[in-house]
Amino acid sequence: MGKTSSKGKMALITILAVLIIDQVLKVWVKTNMYWHESIRITDWFHIYFTENNGMAFGMEFIGKLFLTSFRLVAVVLIGWYLVKTIKEQKKRGYIICIALIFAGAMGNIIDSVFYGVLFNDSTYSQIATFMPEGGGYAPLLYGRVVDMFYFPIIDTTWPQWLPYLGGDRFIFFSPIFNFADAAISCGMIALLIFYGKYLNKTVSK
């Protein structure tokens, strides 16, 4: 019972930490930056404010309402599995990985479900405000996810002699993402690297 309680607290702390950091960053960006405004931190790291209707890293390929509903179902399932792993006394690292994935999914769901109601629209000429008098920019469940981390590690042009691509701009790692996306990615990568065999055994049961 003591170990279960300890691992449960560890998972809860992980989830709360990710959610707080993620939402503080998103609210600050949303209420202090114009849409597509960029703050240069270094040559290879920018805070670049954008929003998306789709999956992690700005991918968009299915309807907004379906996507939000899918996210809600996914979070419920991940949450159920997280509780199950805690009760079954899985390894601490494994539980933290699942908690990171759960927290990241929750962070983006908050945007999708509530941000349309809580904020007015961000544009090139307007910075959004929290709880505007005229109401938000979209109904419940139709909010957009705030992204801000941009790492153009390599920003150059293709050599002129290359067919089709010569002279075109090339950026290595162009996706723009948020802290929740990073938590999901870190959790999944860590699962594959450190718990691949363990995960296969769990799935095959």
Catalytic machinery residues? 147, 181
Burial classification of residue 22, based on how many CB atoms lie within 10 Å of its CB (0-12 exposed, 13-18 middle, 19 or more buried): buried
Q: Is 154 left (phi over 0), alpha (psi -120 to 50) or beta?
A: beta
Question: Among 16, 50, 23, 13, which residue's Cα sits nearest to residue 179?
Answer: 23
